[in-house]
Amino acid sequence: MTQAPPIPPTEPPATGAPDQPDLPDLSEGWGEQRSRLKKDLRRLDVLFFLICTLVGLDTIGSVAAQGPQGITWMAILALVFFLPYGLLVAELGSAFPVQGGPYVWTRLAFGRLVAGVNQLLYWISNPVWVGGSLCIIALTTWEEFFTPLPGFWKYAAGLVFIWGGALAVVQSVRIGKWVPIAGAVARIVLLGFFLVSVVVFAAEHGVHALPAGEFVPTYVGFVGLVPVLIFNYVGFELPSSAAEEMTNPRRDIPLSILRSGLASVVLYGGPILGILFVLPAKEIGSLGGFIDACKAVFTVYGGSVAADGTVTLTGLGSVFGGVAAAGLIIGLLTSGVTWAMGAHRAQAVACADGAGPAWLGKISEKHGTPVRVNLLSAVLGSILFVVALNLTDGNGEKYFAAGLGLTICTTFISYVITFPSLAVLRRKYPDTPRPYAVPGGRLGTWIVSALATGLVAFTVVVLIWPGFGVGWFGSAGNAADSLPASFAGERAQYTLSQVVPLLLFVGIGLVFYAMGAKTRRRVGE
């Protein structure tokens, strides 16, 4: 049986020499690349990294569009998904603090083939996200607050957004870590100022009443909300992809998960309530909900709302609107960059280990980052952006719905494989030191794994077939109403927009694995 790199008490040695002979060996393909990593991530850096990862500004409007019950489901899922998921990653990240995080956990549990295809799905969801929903919200924000982007200029602006992020991702961790720090600060300032403005707006104009009955959770609401709410809650595993660039991953990962988890619940819940207080529920769109709410509340500093709901900002209101728009665009960009910093590192480890082409597993000697994976992601994001914008004829809402759905679906399919690793690794490697362990022994481990895995699996079904279960057995509701508004009456078109790319991604994962055959032969498998 092959041997493994050590699972170190604080820092992994540069050589990757094994001390646990029953673990797979990553040192042959990864040892040379490991020596190029730079250990510059401290506890506060990891905390900001997670805040920037968890608090995504692209889904706030989608949750608010479902009305007050979105707050109720947010609280419920915080208990039955967010908490178990955090416990799961805290144990895996502190017990196996090796570069590549989720890829390594899945590799230890299920082998290289499963882990390689799974990692491809996890990685490729990032260019889909950046070139899809993040890019379209950034462009919509620019057009709402600054100037229209007709024809060529929309394509140019989108490519600047994608490649600006790519430039940030390729930088060394010493420089690159300032991107999530800036993103976390931008979120805190933007969302905090928005909430203060909501209070001022309420004092001057009053707010929309939110009847208690609208907070009552329904199955229809759950089906509509579960994808975006759980997507809001994921990202805990990303710092583990850079575990060997941390000064003390065993200590910092669990603590950062706890603190960032509490912060993200507050930073999500407050703005969603603010949107509901400011805008009538029927006027909240999944794409522009947060943007429209910002414009409305900033009229307290200068501007007006016409009878038809059109908002005009003037004077100081216009200034604050522009600053908030810039903060939102920065927040969107840093979301993509932060996810890329984790997902790309894990993909490089997979390729160096023989689950993908070896040339993609190279770490830059100058930057200490997987530059080739980063650039390939930017190319894929650019292609997706241009193709999708043409296929939807510039329809931002349709582009947003398909892009966000595909991003979440691709990411969550990978989680369906990764999350069960917790229970499997408890059984396979019971003697591995666990600075933090899920409480409750074997039963607690199975409960946590089942809750996290079951909810993401259900979300995948709901994303591929919106309205799954609605109207069954005489229950209320119509499944067709759960389709994104931009795909009303077009179920087949929406389903194909999810299924066809997913099948393509799985095929790419198998091709990548075949391209890693030379590496696998070299390590003597």
* Neighbour count for residue 211 (Cβ, 10 Å): 8
On whether the CB atoms of residues 478 and 467 are closer than 8 A, the answer is: yes
Chain centroid offset of residue 297 CA: 28
On whether the CB atoms of residues 162 and 378 are closer than 8 A, the answer is: yes
Residue 471 is classified by DSSP as T
Chain centroid offset of residue 184 CA: 14
> Of the candidates 352, 374, 373, which has an alpha carbon nearest to the alpha carbon of residue 361?
352
> Of the candidates 468, 522, 523, 458, which has an alpha carbon nearest to the alpha carbon of residue 495?
468
> Of the candidates 111, 25, 16, which has an alpha carbon nearest to the alpha carbon of residue 417?
111
**What are the backbone angles phi and psi of residue 321, rounded to the nearest 5°?**
-60, -45
Whether pTM > 0.85 for this model: the answer is no
Return the pLDDT at 398: 67
Return the pLDDT at 382: 93
Return the pLDDT at 514: 93
Return the pLDDT at 19: 44
Return the pLDDT at 16: 39
Distance CA(374)–CA(385), nearest Å, equals: 17
**What are the backbone angles phi and psi of residue 246, rounded to the nearest 5°?**
-95, 150
Distance CA(407)–CA(388), nearest Å, equals: 14
Return the pLDDT at 523: 66
Return the pLDDT at 330: 87
On whether the CB atoms of residues 350 and 356 are closer than 8 A, the answer is: yes
DSSP string, 354-385: IIS-GGGGPPPTTTSS-HHHHHHHHHHHHHHH
Side-chain-side CA neighbours of residue 239 (13 Å): 38
Distance CA(408)–CA(223), nearest Å, equals: 14
On whether the CB atoms of residues 322 and 146 are closer than 8 A, the answer is: yes
Residues of the chain below pLDDT 70:
1-35, 38, 58-59, 280-289, 309, 391-399, 471, 473-476, 523-525
Tokens 């600054």 label which residue?
Answer: 146
Distance CA(181)–CA(168), nearest Å, equals: 13
Tokens 């042959």 label which residue?
Answer: 28
Q: Which domains are assigned to the chain?
A: 27-473+496-522 (1.20.1740.10)
Residue 41 is classified by DSSP as B
Residue 366 is classified by DSSP as T
On whether the CB atoms of residues 126 and 169 are closer than 8 A, the answer is: no
The C-alpha R_g of the chain, in whole angstroms, comes to 23
